[in-house]
Amino acid sequence: MVVGATKFLNPGPLRFPDEFVRHKILDLLGDLFLLGGPLLGHVSAVKSGHQGNVAFVQHLKQTLPLPGRRPGSPPGEWDITAIMDIMPHRYPFLLVDRITRIEEGESIEGMKNVTINEPFFQGHFPGHPIMPAVLILEAMAQVGGLLLLNSVEDPNDKLMYFMGIDGARFRRPVTPGDQLRFKLTLLKLKGQTSKMRGEAYVDDQLVAEAELLATIVDRSPR
């Protein structure tokens, strides 16, 4: 619809008497979707536009306790309590300590501090502690799972299942005192199934890499 100085320039009448208002409401709803999570509240907009809507959403992202982050935390960074709001894993199988960066629908970075108190070091191996390679992949997958679960409407009703691992390589052992940093990039997303490229680093040295295939499923009722 194009409006001139004194009349509509498009042929034909308006489809609805309040068509312009409807258009503005749809614009606002689309911009609020950028929040990346549910918003429980009442929004009033007067003469709103995309620029103001987006600025409002950015303000909400930095101040509200949205799923996956706490008020006052740096944008894109989640502490362990925020992680536990989404992830179903608990001790001794929660292998992510912090999310340091997230690009919704694209990539995520997280970290795991490896200490001698990890329960698996009791048997792997006594006197020569090395983090099992399969648990490095598990930690990598949990970071990727946060990227996926953060994109669904109610992550507390969902689980992420591993479906496949391709091209797994382990470059050096991970031992107590190391800090694992994970970088995962979403390669493909079809429905609830995803493929991600994962890398794990210690002191900027690549220690493990793999491509992970996973799917999001409904959590079974208790």
The pLDDT assigned to 77 comes to: 85
| Contact predicate 65/71, CB 8 Å | yes
What gap in Å lies between CA 99 and CA 140, rounded to an integer? 12
Six token digits for residue 72: 């006052």
The pLDDT assigned to 115 comes to: 97
What gap in Å lies between CA 162 and CA 158, rounded to an integer? 13
Nearest C-alpha neighbor of 144 from the set 201, 90, 87, 61: 87
The answer, as to whether pTM is greater than 0.75, is no
The pLDDT assigned to 2 comes to: 59
Extended strands (E) in the chain: 98-103, 107-113, 158-170, 179-190, 193-202, 205-218
Selected catalytic residue, list 23, 59, 89, 124: 124
Which residues in 108-135 are b (16+ Cβ under 10 Å) and which e? bbbbbebeeebeebeeeeeeebebebeb
If one looks up domain 80-218 in CATH, what number appears? 3.10.129.10
With a cut of 50, list the residues of the chain below it in pLDDT.
none
Look-up of token digits 């950015």: 58
Q: Alpha helices, DSSP H only, in 151-204?
A: none
Note the pLDDT tens digit of each residue in 176-185. Answer: 999 999 999 9
Q: Which residue type does 152 have?
A: V
Domain boundaries, the chain: 19-63, 80-218
**Based on C-alpha coordinates, what's the Rg of the chain?**
23
Burial of 78 (0-12, 13-18, 19+ CB in 10 A): buried
* 50 among known catalytic residues: yes
The pLDDT assigned to 222 comes to: 53
| Contact predicate 113/179, CB 8 Å | yes
The pLDDT assigned to 40 comes to: 73
* 124 among known catalytic residues: yes
| Contact predicate 146/87, CB 8 Å | yes
The pLDDT assigned to 107 comes to: 95
Selected catalytic residue, list 23, 42, 50, 59: 50
The pLDDT assigned to 3 comes to: 62
